[in-house]
Structure 1
């Protein structure tokens, strides 16, 4: 779910003669609306909060509101508050392509808000997602960034121009060099085979930046090699196996323009999670006070998605050599051999039993926990869709 937070109505004056220790003495809280309706059948969410101050990392949730969406001027879609400030529909709700939607919000103080009508654009399939090894100058220092840049291709023959927003999610394998096959029972001071695999774990992540695209000005309504995400040689994602899920939202022109303004306002990164430097006008207004600033946007969009698996070996011929450095794990010094009789709880608080070699009678090979237990880095529960 998108997360848009903001600071508003803050004036700062700077001088060039003497430094000034600027302190925030007053901020004005305004309503922040994060609302979305798509053609997916699911519980759609609306999040309501108040803008946060420049010196604060938390925002106030708006509770007790009445939230509903009206479809084509008649059919009402109701929301229930599932958590403070979070309102959800029934899981069976899905938007209809070509229908017009207006969100209505009534706060507990009696203030009422609504959006301008938003038409749901048709979803468009993603043609392909793929990666190429690249080396580019870093925008932070003089070094060269090396890694796999992932791209998306898409096209829409039914329209002249497309406005698109992208999100992505990552899942990836993390394998430790010396997985432990035995666990120690401190109560009985004995060991036995592990009941679960702690050699392979699964990390995940998702984009925090705002990724938008438009085919306006192009010769055809097609995006080719649009960059989505780059995985560096020092990142863990492509050490072994990697899954990239790309979600494509087909926007109407007003939504695209809103996100474009938001991106330009946050020139540092264009992130949903940045503190905004000013008020970006959205499509929601106070029904009785049009001058009241409202932050956020009611997004109505057709959605398609694709999940693609990649192996590290897929890119070796292109020059990709993963170089992820396991925290506190030095494979050259991680292993040690001890006598079984010397195994104890104190020793095995920092080490794990890897195996019992037949070449060393009554001996056990042990490895430091960061080299033998992947749970130091991630969860060992495999994602449901992982093949």
Structure 2
């Protein structure tokens, strides 16, 4: 029972790269296992590994207990070893020059401060094929189906792709997207002891309050324009029953239409990753759970443990070491591509970097 509970928790926390919402469940007493979240790609580094403890089902999945002080390395088939440095608690990275090579095999090794030793088998990096086209379609009142009074339009993003020649490709797709928001941090106010409303601009707004309690601009605003980045929240993997290695009209994302996403433009990049049998099985199960809306406690959930094995120590290990080649494609959706008038955004009175997650006030080079 304890192992099953840990595995269900692992499924939830790896699903969105840590971006999941906590849910309530009965408290189960257990000794925590160790979760390894590792991905090696053929893209420029640094490559990253996360290490943390599993927990009870009632835990806050956004804030796992991260494990510091571990020694982590990746060894290639020729015996070359890449050591990882701990860049923040529980997060380990390679040198920026380190990347995998298609056709080569790699093994992950984890040694904790307490003496636990975990390893993967050698895993070969297979080619990722290519995304041949990326396109989108508008769909009205398709989201929030559980709330008929709040229907929401969406932009559905599809791809056509193919795997590598002469290889039965197991593929996973994920995406990330960037858009622009505009806020008005100079309009923040405060109440004086006598109840008078006074201007209280954020310092980053570039405004100060003069002797007459009026706003005065002294430098350009540094937190009025931001570019949030969001990431896919649903697993998407290939159907390995195909014999042609061609994948058509794969739905990779349903993007809600709201006041900001398509007000200017929406820059979306889709990645196609090669995966191994065990990694494919993990994400295939996640996809089935999401598409079917099934109860997370059904028996097949607990079958996925990961592809790491315990060499020493008495703590269970869970997690995925994926060795993936990556190919990608980009699509930009302009406001003119949305067949309804754009929403009029609310006036947001705050630092734009705090309005949405993963926001920066540095204009992206592709904007």
Equivalent residue for 2:6, pick from 5, 8, 15: 8
Whether the aligned pair in 1 keeps the contact of 2:228 and 2:360 (CA below 8 Å) is: no
CA, structure 1 residues 141+64, in 2 after alignment: closer, same or farther (shift >3 Å)? Answer: same
Q: Superposition RMSD on alpha carbons, in Å?
A: 3.5
Match status 1:140 vs 2:160:
no
Q: Are 1:172 and 2:192 counterparts? A: no
- The 1:55/1:374 distance shift into structure 2, 3 A limit, reads closer
Structure 1 residues 375, 97: CA separation in 2 closer, same or farther (over 3 Å shift)? closer
Q: TM-score under structure 1 normalisation?
A: 0.70
Given the alignment of the two structures, is residue 323 of structure 1 paired with residue 321 of structure 2, yes or no?
no
Q: Which residue of 2 aligns with 1:386?
A: 366
Q: 1:18-76 deviations in whole A, cap 9, x for unaligned?
A: xxxx8525122001000111101211111111102222214222222221111015111
Alignment CA distance shift 1:175-1:41 (3 Å): closer
Q: 2-side partners of 1:100 and 1:306: how far apart? A: 26
The worse-fitting range, judged by mean Cα deviation, of 376-385 and 90-99 is 376-385
Query: Computing the radius of gyration over CA atoms, which structure comes out larger, 1 or 2?
Result: 1
Q: Give the alignment of 1:299-314 within 5 angstroms.
A: 299-314=322-337
**Aligned equivalent of 1:54:** 57
Give the 5 Å matches for 1:1-387.
7-8=5-6, 23-24=26-27, 26-57=29-60, 58-72=63-77, 74-135=79-140, 137-138=142-143, 139-142=145-148, 144-156=151-163, 158-175=165-182, 185-189=208-212, 195-196=219-220, 201-218=225-242, 220-264=244-288, 278=302, 280-288=304-312, 293-315=316-338, 319-323=339-343, 325-326=345-346, 329=347, 370=349, 377=355, 381-387=361-367
1:336-379: CA deviations, max 9, x gaps?
xxxxxxxxxxxxxxxxxxxxxxxxxxxxxxxxx75x99778466
* 5+ long unaligned stretches in structure 2: 9-24, 188-204, 295-299
Q: Which whole-Å CA distance do the structure 2 matches of 1:9 and 1:148 have between them?
A: 34
Could you say what secondary structure the match of 2:180 adopts? strand
Per-residue Cα deviation, 1:82-112 (whole angstroms, up to 9, x for no partner): 2221111111101011111111111222221
Post-superposition CA distance 1:272-311 (Å, at most 9, x none) = xxxx96462211011247x964211101000122333221
Q: CA deviation at 1:152?
A: 2.0
